[in-house]
Amino acid sequence: MILKGRKVMGGYAEGEALVSAEPVSFYGGVDPVTGYVTEPGHCCCGENITGKVFVFPTGKGSTVGSYVIYRMKKLGTAPAAIINVETEAILATGCVISDVPLVDKLDRDPLKVIKNGMKVKVNADEGVVEVID
């Protein structure tokens, strides 16, 4: 399945999908040292995003979240790529300064067509996502 959307931060990555139906805050919601989602009550609490193609509606929270993504990249705990329904400025900034591919506004809702564990290839330069069942 090929999905087309908008490039927010270019690059290429592939990996296993981790899908969250809920917005994500990288500041206080993700442990940058381990890569685990730590926000109590979050649907992905206890899941590790390291090296995954992380799919979620949008970011939320403090501007410090941008720097958390940067720290994760330096520590090797960042996601391989991020796919959003619609991204926001904090997340976009974090991906730009960290060189994490980011796409959004796909022609199909990624939360409905991408499932946990699917292999996903993200060509953010072209705004193309390939989902392999």
Mean pLDDT of 40-55: 97
Catalytic residues: 62
Q: How many structural domains are present in the chain?
A: 1
Residue 111 sits in which domain range?
2-132
Asked whether the beta carbons of 112 and 105 are under 8 A apart, the reply is no
pLDDT, one tens digit per residue, over 59-110 is: 998 899 999 999 999 999 999 999 999 999 999 999 999 999 999 999 999 9
* CATH number where 101 lies: 3.50.30.10
Phi, psi of 75 (to 5 degrees): -85, -10
Amino acid at 94: G
pLDDT at 61: 85
pLDDT of 133 > 80? The answer is: no
pTM: 0.97
